[in-house]
Amino acid sequence: MIELSVDLGERSYPILIGSGLIDRCEPLRRLADARSVAVITNETVAPLYADRLQASLAGAAASIERVVLPDGEAYKTWPVLDRVFDALLAARFDRSSLVIALGGGVVGDMAGFAAAVYQRGIDFVQVPTTLLAQVDSSVGGKTGINHPKGKNMMGAFHQPRLVVADVDTLDTLPDRELSAGLAEVIKHGAIADTTYLDEVEAALPALRRREPAMLARIVAGSCRIKAGVVGRDERESGVRAILNFGHTFGHAIEAGLGFGQWLHGEAVGAGMVMAADLSRRLDLLTAADAIRVRELVRGAGLPVGGPAWPADIYIDLMSVDKKAERGSPRFVLLEALGRARVQKVPDEALRATLADCAEPV
Is 151 buried (19+), middle (13-18) or exposed (0-12) by CB count in 10 A? buried
In terms of Cα–Cα distance, which of 233, 139, 131, 225 is closest to 187? 225
Catalytic residue chosen out of the listed positions 188, 240, 280, 281: 240
Catalytic residue chosen out of the listed positions 35, 73, 76, 142: 142
| Residue 326 interacts with a copy of itself (CB under 8 A): yes or no | yes
Let me know if 251 is a catalytic residue.
Answer: yes
Catalytic residue chosen out of the listed positions 35, 158, 264, 294: 264
The three-state secondary structure class of 72 is coil
Task: Select from 228, 319, 338, 351 the one that contacts a copy of itself (CB under 8 A).
Answer: 319
| Residue 356 interacts with a copy of itself (CB under 8 A): yes or no | no
Nearer of residues 174 and 258 to a copy of itself, judged by Cβ: 258
Find all residues with CB under 8 Å of 188, minimum gap 6, and list them.
Answer: 135, 136, 196, 221, 222, 225, 226
Task: Select from 20, 47, 70, 121 the one that contacts a copy of itself (CB under 8 A).
Answer: 121
Neighbouring C-beta atoms of residue 47, cutoff 10 Å:
10
Taking the complex as a whole, how short is the minimal distance between the CB of residue 109 and a copy of itself, in angstroms? 11
Checking DSSP bridges between strand 123-128 and strand 162-166, what pairing results, if any? parallel
| Residue 153 interacts with a copy of itself (CB under 8 A): yes or no | yes
Residues between 128 and 147 that touch a copy of itself (CB under 8 A): 142, 144, 147
| Residue 85 interacts with a copy of itself (CB under 8 A): yes or no | yes
What ranges in 212-358 are assigned the alpha helix state H?
212-232, 247-257, 264-281, 287-299, 311-318, 347-357
| Residue 120 interacts with a copy of itself (CB under 8 A): yes or no | yes
| Residue 66 interacts with a copy of itself (CB under 8 A): yes or no | no
Is 115 buried (19+), middle (13-18) or exposed (0-12) by CB count in 10 A? buried
Q: Which residues bind a copy of itself (CB under 8 A)?
A: 36, 62, 78, 82, 85-86, 89-90, 92, 94-96, 116-121, 142, 144, 147, 149-150, 152-157, 235-236, 319-320, 322, 324-327
Catalytic residues: 120, 142, 184, 226, 236, 240, 244, 247, 251, 264
